[in-house]
């Protein structure tokens, strides 16, 4: 399958399509928490070029990823849900 460069998106554009910040997407990729396209050199710069298929794969697993932050509010909500407050 041949994909033209017009169909490929930057990490920033892919993150926008996913509804998350581009730094968040970069962190997920760095932590290997989700699939990502391979790195390519474009004009001497290393970039990831995302196809619609790559974005769809991340969109499918995105709800399953925990953000890793634990806050007081999250703990209170969890306590209320279990009834141990």
Give mean pLDDT, residues 65-83: 63
- Rounded CA gap, 53 and 10, in Å? 14
Q: Per-residue confidence at 75, pLDDT binned at 50, 70, 90?
A: low
Specify the higher pLDDT residue, 85 or 24.
24
- Rounded CA gap, 34 and 26, in Å? 10
Angle formed by the axes of helices 11-18 and 22-30, nearest 10°: 110
Q: Which helix (H) or strand (E) holds 27?
A: helix 22-30
Specify the higher pLDDT residue, 22 or 3.
22
0.75 exceeded by the pTM?
Answer: no
Give mean pLDDT, residues 62-77: 64
- Rounded CA gap, 26 and 17, in Å? 14
pLDDT digits (tens, 9 = 90+) for 16-38: 999 999 999 999 999 888 889 99
Give the closest residue to 23 by CA, choosing from 74, 71, 67: 67
CATH code assigned at 11: 1.10.1660
pLDDT digits (tens, 9 = 90+) for 40-63: 998 999 999 999 999 999 998 888
If one counts the domains in the chain, the total is: 1
- Give residue 13's domain range: 5-82
């Amino acid at each position: 399958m041949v994909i033209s460069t017009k169909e490929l998106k930057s990490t920033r554009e892919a993150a926008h399509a996913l509804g998350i910040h581009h730094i968040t997407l970069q962190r997920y990729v760095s932590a290997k928490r989700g699939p990502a396209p391979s790195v390519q050199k474009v004009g001497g710069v290393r970039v990831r070029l995302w196809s619609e298929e790559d974005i769809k794969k991340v969109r499918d697993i995105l709800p399953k990823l925990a953000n890793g932050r634990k806050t007081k509010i999250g703990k209170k909500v969890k306590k209320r849900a279990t009834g141990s407050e």
